[in-house]
Each structure stands twice: as C-alpha cells, then as structure tokens.
Homo-oligomer: A and B are copies of this chain.
C-alpha cells in the first residue's frame, strides 16, 4: 500500500456499488493513480493530514462516466447534417464530408475538441471508432484521456486504409504501438454487418480470441439493416454474426434498436454487452433499444453518445438522462431504469463492456482514480433529496467542476488542465469556416 498523496473531501461520494450507497461527507484518499481508501471526512482529515487536501463541500463525486461508443473527431461535423435518416445522413452528407476533409490533422483537432467536451461533462473514458486511431491515441496520451482505440475495419477505402487486409494490418500495428500505454486499449472495430464481409469477420473472430480483445460494432441499428441482411444473407445480422463466431462476451453491440426477445436472450446467455446510444438513435429515427427488457434479462447495457454529427453533443450526463427517460416510456413502466440503474449504465456497465470493470467504473479501494465531481449547489439542482436523482435528471455539464483520470486532475475548478480550451475552440472555428465554404 503506497503513501496517500491527495485526499478529496466531498459532500457526497457515490461509489456505484451493489448496494447503491450514497456516502455523506466522505473522502477519497489517493495513492498515485489509485484509490487508497474511501472513508468519512472526519477520519480522513486526521489520518491523512499531511497529504494535499481538496475540498468539494457541495459536490457529489461519482465514478468517471464511460462513453462506450463515439466517433470523437466527428465533433468537427457537429450540426453539419440535420433532419436526415441514417442512410441519407451517411450517403448524402457524412461520407462525402469525410471523403473531402478527414486527414490526420482533422482527427487530431476533432479528437482534442471532443475530449475537451467529454471531460467538461464528466467523462473519463471513451471508446472510439474512427479513422487514424493512431492519432486518436496520441491525443489521448497528451490529454490524459482513458481511451479505447478502434482498430476499424471496412471493405471499402477511406483515408485510413484501402481494403480489409490493410485495415487489419494497420489495426494490429496499432495494437502493438499502444500495448504498453496505461491509459489506452485497442479494440477491434468492424464498422457493421453491412460493411464487412464474412471472411473478414472470421479473421476478426480468430484475432479477438487469440489476443483477448473486445469487438466494437454497430449492430441492428435500423430496421433496414435487418431487412437487407435477410435479403442478402437469408438471416438477421445477429444470427449471421453468431454463425461467424462473434456473438460472445467480447462483443459490444452498439445501438441494437431492433431486437427480438430471442435475440435479447441470446445476448444474455452469450454475455454480449449492448451499447445504447439513445440520442443518436432518436435523431436519425433509427429506433429504440429495448433497454428495460435487456436489463431484466441481465444483459450488460452501457451508454454512448455516438459522434457529435448525430447527437449533437458528447455529454454523458445528458445521454444518461435521456436513457433513463426513454426506458420508462418505451417499456410503459416508470419504475424501470431507476436513477441508480442509469448511473450504473453510464459507469460500471461501460467499464464492463470494455473489459475494464476491475479497474474503473466504480469507486473502491485499489481501483484506478477516475472520478468526476459535480457541484449540486445550483438553482438547477436544488433542493437535494437524492444526489443521484439530481445528477441523472437535473444537473447540467457546467456543474461538473473537477475530473481526475488515472489520478491526474484534468479538470480543476471548471478549467481544463491538459487542453488549451481557447486554442481548441479557435481551431474548431477555423475548421468550421473552411468546411462551410
């Protein structure tokens, strides 16, 4: 057990444990990048008097939010394509924009902008799927953002690679390059069943097994996707993936708006994680993921913002709120997805989907120091009867005051410490001016 070098005193600590505890006037003692202890503030002040003290006297401290599906660099396309369904949005707007503009520099600038927004809204970890994941990794290291890089795979060319073989080769190089980076993991990211061929999926299934790496994929995002698969392959995409050996505990099935009860049961048995992206699914009219049904069957459901071009924010507080609200109306049962369940989806379930649940996603002795402080002393979230209810249903991103990732305070009194926010904003504006013309 190392020395305690920092103690954070909070009005409330919400560890996201199995008992849904809310700890009043508790403190978190840090030893380097790990949680040494969580204890009553009174005791902490005596016991760790010589350590650095941080007072968050009106704040709730929660595990850092895990954004389990995003395309970070698309922040630069925020608001560039409105009021369109998925296929029109992709084919008429997004793919042409990407073809014209996406370069290493675009990804560097867009990813940094995205990290600024994610951290300021309380996220400490993100699971990316985009071109130039090596650049995403560089930005993640420099910012100190815990990141899963997507080893993306498509059958058609993009600025990153020409064909499935090249995507996979570059993916494995990425894996090797970032293997030892403490903040970074690499994950297979075949785009979707409709953009990747059977043989490529078979290779990915083998590699995922050999290297013990998760597989991050859009699955059953729309009804059209399911219908086209029935026409082309004679089976629904999930059945096709099952036959190809991909429906297992490594799969992160993103979106999943079209699920039969049998498919939900298959996901439960196979320990698939579902990543729910409610705002994007609503905005593109894709459909509604049956979250209440999945949770009833004990499927691990995480939450992601998707990219800013279909959301248009990367704000996990808003996403968690939306997930809670829609689970109630879509199941017809207001007791579904309680405030504690919503917070769990946005934290520990996200960590579990990435295979990181023993290290992050909840606050406990020995876990990594990834956490977020939200000041509830605001007209927007007062009075406080239950801090978790206020976080899930009332707080806004500007109430996030401090964020620690791996023990590093990347947001301090609402100021980013590892990103020059005004420079980041100026760069975004320059991109906007260039792209619009």
Q: Which of A131-139, A179-187, A280-288, A294-302 contacts B (4 or more CB under 8 A)?
A: A280-288
Q: A284, A379, A396: which has the most chain B beta carbons within 10 Å?
A: A379
A394 near B79 with CB under 8 A, answer yes
Q: A117, A308, A328, A421: which has the most chain B beta carbons within 10 Å?
A: A328
What is the predominant secondary structure among interface residues of chain A facing chain B?
Answer: helix
B339 near A83 with CB under 8 A, answer yes
A383 near B83 with CB under 8 A, answer no
B313 near A383 with CB under 8 A, answer no
Q: A279, A285, A381, A432: which has the most chain B beta carbons within 10 Å?
A: A285
Q: Is A89 an interface residue (CB 8 A)?
A: yes
Q: Is A329 an interface residue (CB 8 A)?
A: yes
Contact of A382 among B285, B325, B393, B429 (CB under 8 A): B429
B389 near A312 with CB under 8 A, answer yes
What B residues does A383 contact at CB under 8 A?
A: 76, 78-79, 428-429, 431-433, 435-436
CA distance A153 to B295 in the complex (A): 42
Total count of chain A residues near the partner, CB < 8 A: 71
B78 near A283 with CB under 8 A, answer no
Q: Is A293 an interface residue (CB 8 A)?
A: no
Given contacts A313-B394, A393-B312, A394-B79, contact A333 B85 (CB under 8 A): yes
B113 near A382 with CB under 8 A, answer yes
Q: Is A21 an interface residue (CB 8 A)?
A: no
Q: Is A331 an interface residue (CB 8 A)?
A: yes
Contact string, A404-433, partner B, CB cutoff 8 A, digits 1/0?
000000000000000001001100110111
How many monomers of this chain does the complex have?
A: 2
Contact string, A114-143, partner B, CB cutoff 8 A, digits 1/0?
001100100000000000000000000000
What B residues does A176 contact at CB under 8 A?
A: none
A117 near B379 with CB under 8 A, answer yes
Q: Is A390 an interface residue (CB 8 A)?
A: yes
Contact string, A189-201, partner B, CB cutoff 8 A, digits 1/0?
0000000000000
Q: Is A378 an interface residue (CB 8 A)?
A: yes
B282 near A326 with CB under 8 A, answer yes
Tell me the residues in window 296-331 of chain A with beta carbons closer than 8 Å to chain B beta carbons.
Answer: 308, 311-313, 315, 318, 322, 324-326, 328-329, 331
What B residues does A279 contact at CB under 8 A?
A: 325
Given contacts A82-B389, A279-B325, A385-B80, contact A334 B89 (CB under 8 A): yes
Q: Is A384 an interface residue (CB 8 A)?
A: yes
Given contacts A390-B312, A431-B383, A435-B383, contact A82 B338 (CB under 8 A): yes
Contact string, A73-88, partner B, CB cutoff 8 A, digits 1/0?
0001011101111101
Q: Which residues of A contact B (CB under 8 A)?
A: 76, 78-80, 82-86, 88-89, 113, 116-117, 120, 279, 281-288, 308, 311-313, 315, 318, 322, 324-326, 328-329, 331-336, 338-339, 377-386, 389-390, 393-394, 396-398, 421, 424-425, 428-429, 431-433, 435-436
> Which chain B residue has the least Cβ–Cβ distance from A81?
B385
What B residues does A334 contact at CB under 8 A?
A: 83-86, 88-89, 283-285
Contact of A432 among B322, B336, B385 (CB under 8 A): B385
B329 near A281 with CB under 8 A, answer yes
What B residues does A89 contact at CB under 8 A?
A: 334
B379 near A421 with CB under 8 A, answer yes
> Which chain B residue has the least Cβ–Cβ distance from A426?
B382
Contact of A79 among B329, B389, B435 (CB under 8 A): B389
> Which chain B residue has the least Cβ–Cβ distance from A436?
B385
Interchain residue pairs with CB less than 8 A apart (26) = A78-B383, A78-B385, A79-B381, A80-B385, A82-B389, A83-B328, A85-B334, A85-B335, A89-B334, A113-B379, A120-B379, A120-B380, A282-B326, A283-B328, A283-B334, A286-B329, A287-B329, A311-B393, A312-B390, A313-B396, A315-B396, A326-B326, A382-B432, A383-B432, A383-B436, A396-B396
What B residues does A287 contact at CB under 8 A?
A: 329
B432 near A384 with CB under 8 A, answer yes
